[in-house]
Amino acid sequence: MGTALVYHEDMTATRLLWDDPECEIECPERLTAALDGLRQRGLEERCLCLSACEASEEELGLVHSPEYIALVQKTQTLDKEELHALSKQYNAVYFHPDTFHCARLAAGAALQLVDAVLTGAVHNGLALVRPPGHHSQRAAANGFCVFNNVALAAKHAKQKYGLQRILIVDWDVHHGQGIQYIFNDDPSVLYFSWHRYEHGSFWPFLPESDADAVGQGQGQGFTVNLPWNQVGMGNADYLAAFLHVLLPLAFEFDPELVLVSAGFDSAIGDPEGQMQATPECFAHLTQLLQVLAGGRICAVLEGGYHLESLAQSVCMMVQTLLGDPTPPLLGLMVPCQSALESIQSVQTAQTPYWTSLQQILSSSTHSPEERSLRLLGESPTCAVAEDSLSPLLDQLCLRPAPPICTAVASTVPGAALCLPPGVLHQEGSVLREETEAWARLHKSRFQDEDLATLGKILCLLDGIMDGQIRNAIATTTALATAATLDVLIQRCLARRAQRVLCVALGQLDRPLDLADDGRILWLNIRGKDAAIQSMFHFSTPLPQTTGGFLSLILGLVLPLAYGFQPDMVLMALGPAHGLQNAQAALLAAMLRSPVGGRILAVVEEESIRLLARSLAQALHGETPPSLGPFSKATPEEIQALMFLKARLEARWKLLQVAAPPP
């Protein structure tokens, strides 16, 4: 099982044959640049490479009219003047004698990728194709697009595999109006698109690209448009859109397959998009999607016109599909005012159709006291730094993947844990004297028999910090869990970790000598009420509903984690933590993104037999099991979250779900 890469060199054949400044950016070098990038980084050879085959006429007929297909077919024999004349009948389109062949290969590649994923040959994959597809309509080429590759893929998945829920994530910077039209009244396809809009003054200048276009008939609520009204949107804006709009809806929708209209004209440097998101952002967006649909992701290239930015972004996505850890996200994690307004407008339009948004919106109706707290933190307006591109692209460093992926040190015999293959048992330990010295600092909280385990856990921590191990699970006796966590925090700091995020579940008290200097972010998930000691130390109850749990993760834990940018995450499951298997797995899986996978999970031994396997799988990169049917958060759960968010969002700007009033 792995990642498919579907490609055919013939797709570089089509190119513009006359002068047209609008169309010249859609050039063959786009594909060669992306492929060269993958080759240079050794990513191509790690994929299952499939050679694209043309889609049949019948397959094209899933979306397109017979007359339109025949018309495109005829372009094969037209001369340059005739091609030019035909092209002018469409909006931002050029035909070439090889267009029909290329467009059939592009559509065929998307279908093959769906087959590879849905037959279980691979987990996920990318089709590198030209021409792109998302603007194309039943009987019209549009915006460089001839056949609608992703719409065809969705129809194919429904028809051949009987899928009932498909999510399409269109992160290209243009609105894929073609996809929107095709599935406008179809509730089995949830179409999400963000796009440069500027209140309608950006191509394709359509009112139906705005947030209030939500689909029609049975399909109401299954079209989700997030229009960007300014250029310069960056990593924080894209993340906020995923955490506060796309992911809540996607979890509630519970797709069986995720298709990505993977356009990279939404990345920094692109002449069309004028946005600021750096290539690593696409690694993060990809990893966030990997918790859905059992990890079944089919990405199909759409736009992307800055060759260097395109190649890097494609590499970031493929690397993440392959399971490599995500590189850190650069930049201040503060969404801009205009982005928050856009996010709010989608939430308002979609609230009637989605329970998860009803929860979020209720939590952003603020009391006067809360409103004054919100105003403490004004959001910046977005600014496009002129020559910010090359330094950012140069900085892009790739940590090599650690030799050992996930390791376990356990007080419980390994065989009892049913660990997945590829997980290593930690036998090594730090020196006995060193362990004893740490234990002495926490007098009387360790029994003699705890010391051997502590030595191994310290060794795991060192392994993660040195890049020898990606992440790890350690068990402790119930009594020693809190003390172990204390030692781990101190050792992280002693080893010069800049920021450590502790997510402590169950009965684990905040260490008394915990520094409040911004190096430790301590979040305790336990008990009855939410409480705040400082901007770095607080606690919240564990929700009992799936809706409440998801809101906690997407609305609180991840925005905090992304805002904090930790070097290391300590996830501790102490006595009476109350987490179910699927919850623990989802929390671990999602905490990996903001920290590049560097998580040490400490679990008290009572519950490890139940949790070890799914926790190890999640840390290892497997998609966590489903939380079960969606259940609405209770008013108490929402109130606790609301209480925390209202007070914390002045410091942690990614928590904001709505723009402060002007």
Give yes or no for residue 30 binding Zn ion (CB under 5 A).
Answer: no
Q: Is 135 annotated as catalytic?
A: yes
Give yes or no for residue 92 binding ligand X5A (CB under 6 A).
Answer: yes
Contact code string over 130-169 relative to ligand X5A, x by CB under 6 A:
--x--x-------xxx------------------------
Rounded distance between C-alpha atoms, residue 27 and residue 38, angstroms: 18
CB of 151 to Zn ion, least distance (A): 15
The enclosing H or E element of 590 equals helix 581-592
- 195 has which bridge partners? 227
Q: Which is nearer to Zn ion, 266 or 363 (CB)?
A: 266
Give yes or no for residue 174 binding ligand X5A (CB under 6 A).
Answer: yes
Give yes or no for residue 265 binding ligand X5A (CB under 6 A).
Answer: yes
Q: Which is nearer to ligand X5A, 172 or 186 (CB)?
A: 172
Type of residue at 536: F
Question: Which of these ranges, 100-108, 167-175, 182-190, 560-568, lies near Zn ion under the rule CB under 5 A?
Answer: 167-175
Catalytic-labelled residue, pool 96, 134, 135, 284: 135
Give yes or no for residue 302 binding ligand X5A (CB under 6 A).
Answer: yes
Q: Which is nearer to ligand X5A, 135 or 244 (CB)?
A: 135
Count, residues near ligand X5A per rule CB under 6 A: 14
CB of 194 to ligand X5A, least distance (A): 13
Give yes or no for residue 265 binding Zn ion (CB under 5 A).
Answer: yes
* Separation of CA 601 from chain center: 22
**Comparing C-alpha atoms, which of 253, 314, 317, 245 is closest to residue 285?**
317
Q: Which is nearer to Zn ion, 276 or 358 (CB)?
A: 276
CB of 467 to ligand X5A, least distance (A): 38
- 472 has which bridge partners? 407, 600
CB of 326 to Zn ion, least distance (A): 24
Rounded distance between C-alpha atoms, residue 492 and residue 489, angstroms: 5
Confirm if 267 and 277 have CB atoms less than 8 A apart. Answer: yes
Give yes or no for residue 174 binding Zn ion (CB under 5 A).
Answer: yes
325: tokens are 């850890």
Burial class from Cβ neighbours inside 10 Å (0-12, 13-18, 19+) for residue 475 reads buried
Q: Which is nearer to ligand X5A, 144 or 228 (CB)?
A: 144
Indicate which single residue of 115, 172, 324, 637 sits in contact with ligand X5A (rule: CB under 6 A).
172
The residues in 455-484 that bind ligand X5A, with binding defined as CB under 6 A, are none
What percent of the chain is helix, strand and coil (3-state, nearest 5)?
45, 15, 40
The residues in 196-215 that bind ligand X5A, with binding defined as CB under 6 A, are 203
Q: What angle do CA 459, 460, 463 make, to 5 degrees?
A: 90
Q: Which does 210 bind (CB under 5 to 8 A by kind): ligand X5A, Zn ion, none?
A: none
504: tokens are 């402590």
Burial class from Cβ neighbours inside 10 Å (0-12, 13-18, 19+) for residue 93 reads buried
Q: In what order do the strands lie in the sheet with 531-534?
A: 423-425, 404-409, 469-476, 599-604, 568-573, 500-505, 520-525, 537-540, 531-534
Give yes or no for residue 22 binding ligand X5A (CB under 6 A).
Answer: yes
Q: Which does 234 bind (CB under 5 to 8 A by kind): ligand X5A, Zn ion, none?
A: none
CB of 178 to ligand X5A, least distance (A): 10
- 3 has which bridge partners? 124
Place of tokens 């992304």: 562
Just list the catalytic residues.
135
Q: Under the rule (CB under 6 A), what is the footprint of ligand X5A?
A: 22, 92, 132, 135, 143-145, 172, 174, 203, 263, 265, 302-303
